[in-house]
Amino acid sequence: MVLIAASLILTVLYVIVVLYFRTGWLRIPAFRVPDDGPLLSVNILIAARNEEACIGSVIEDVLKQTYPAQLFQLIIIDDHSTDNTSEIVLKYASRGVKLIKLNEKEPLNSYKKKAISEAIHLSKGELIITTDADCRMGPGWLETVVSGFKDEQVKMISSPVVYHEERSFFERLQTLEFCYLIGLGASTIGNKMPSTCNGANLAYRRSVFVELGGFKGIDDLASGDDELFLHKVAARYPDGIRFCKAADALVYTDAKATLPEFISQRKRWASKSTRYKNKWVVALGVSVWLFNALILLNVLMGFYKPLYWQLLAAILLLKFFAEAAFLLPVTHFFKRRELLLYLPLLTLIHSVYMVYIGIAGNSGKYVWKGRLVR
């Protein structure tokens, strides 16, 4: 009876929370670029390691932006690449692209934060925008994101990221799950309780980075240049964070081609949760993990008493409808509503994935960019 009661309580809590996420998403107004948008100087930062296959494409996309060319500079930080990444970047030097090469002799656990910090230290732009070497964006991306800083109270803007050009069923399933994650981060911003964002499309004022001491206090963790810094900004400026709900602000990237790559990425993302200082975010994460763990426990208990399988069916049904209600407007924004056909399957396998990643991401090391980190 204890398991049944706990399962029902956490199911009700989960449904309420997901519907609250939906409310947060709907609270965010569709963003439109004002006619008199701000003309701020911008530094676009990309930390790259062994990205010769894609670095040229993202550079071309950035250089094609409609934002005045004299007001932005693209800085690529080469994180000890062993391929031709630097050589490719240097070909764009005549077009204003700047290359910085890390040269630390002592090993670090946070090369990406070091790369971003070095670039910000050497830059002079009023705004910092980070993206990744494997990303793509349309010509109106920069103008749209920068326009969000017209309000001087805005200190940070999280913008949407989506997977594209999927080549398999597995990658399409990832895209739906990623829509959920990006929507989740946006919805918590909409609800004035920021919890997550994505460094592939993140912008903030340089002055705020300096004021908060940059990544000081979170620089011992390999990941977290996005979420953990978001939490630092939210603690100082709780009303200063926005989500840019605009199609032109979209950044596109690729899903992981294989299961091991996917697991490694999600372990890296989950590793940041141990450093969350917001007790609400921590409590929410623990509750969601327990909810999924109880789903798996009900599966096992059903072999002893079929009643638990009946309970499981009801839980999964409620979980499915709550997630569908949330994902309907989110996938509409991303113009990927066809992915909702995968939601029944995702609902079934999500619990296994959540429980495993919750444990693995907080209890071990993982490989990132060819390095074993924690």
Q: What DSSP character marks residue 368?
A: E
Q: For residue 77, what are the β-bridge partners?
A: 47, 100
Q: pTM, whole model, 2 decimals?
A: 0.92
274 neighbors 364 (Cβ within 8 angstroms)? no
Provide the phi-psi class of 96: left if phi over 0, else alpha when psi is between -120 and 50, else beta.
left
Rounded Cα gap, residues 71 and 40, in angstroms: 7
Nearest to residue 156, comparing CAs of 240, 88, 77?
240
Q: For residue 130, what are the β-bridge partners?
A: 45, 202
Rounded Cα gap, residues 297 and 294, in angstroms: 5
Per-residue pLDDT of the chain (374 residues; tens, 9 = 90+): 788 899 999 999 999 999 999 999 999 999 988 888 778 999 999 999 999 999 999 999 999 999 999 999 999 999 889 999 999 999 999 999 999 998 876 666 678 888 899 999 988 899 999 999 999 999 999 999 999 999 999 999 999 999 999 999 999 999 999 999 999 999 999 999 999 999 999 999 999 999 999 988 887 776 778 899 999 999 999 999 999 999 999 999 999 999 989 988 888 888 777 667 777 888 888 899 999 999 999 999 998 899 999 999 999 999 999 999 999 999 999 999 999 999 999 998 989 988 988 887 776 666 656 655 66
Q: Given 3-state DSSP classes, what are the helix, strand and coil percentages for the chain, each rounded to the nearest 5? A: 55, 15, 35
